Amino acid sequence: AVPRCKPLRHAYEKEIVLYAHFQGLEYVSTECVYAPHAYRGHARALLKDLEATRPSAVAALGHSGRRLAVAQEVATKTLGAC
């Protein structure tokens, strides 16, 4: 398997959008209609609170997550259409 390259994984979403804007790249900024009711919003709010307390919290979580080992077969739900 070829590992994926994520060159912007350490960049914040705002920085990526600004980069795309100034480079003249097209990007879609619409939100999924199911997003307001998703659990993801609670996790995002928690991350914003953590970052307000400690600015490096999100980066530290990302570094920790990359050190975790993931099993070859992971049970996932099938995604619906947005």
Per-residue pLDDT, 53: 92
Is residue 57 one of the residues assigned to a domain?
yes
Is residue 32 one of the residues assigned to a domain?
no
Per-residue pLDDT, 59: 83
Is residue 14 one of the residues assigned to a domain?
no
Is pTM beyond 0.85? Reply is no
Task: Please state, in angstroms and rounded to a whole number, the distance separating the CA atoms of residues 69 and 4.
Answer: 16
Is residue 8 one of the residues assigned to a domain?
no
Is residue 49 one of the residues assigned to a domain?
yes
Chain segment 36-73, per-residue pLDDT in tens: 777 877 888 888 898 899 988 888 888 887 777 666 67
Is residue 55 one of the residues assigned to a domain?
yes
Per-residue pLDDT, 32: 72
Is residue 48 one of the residues assigned to a domain?
yes
Q: Which domain holds residue 50?
A: 38-66
Domain count, the chain: 1
Residues 10, 58 contacting (CB under 8 angstroms): no
Is residue 54 one of the residues assigned to a domain?
yes
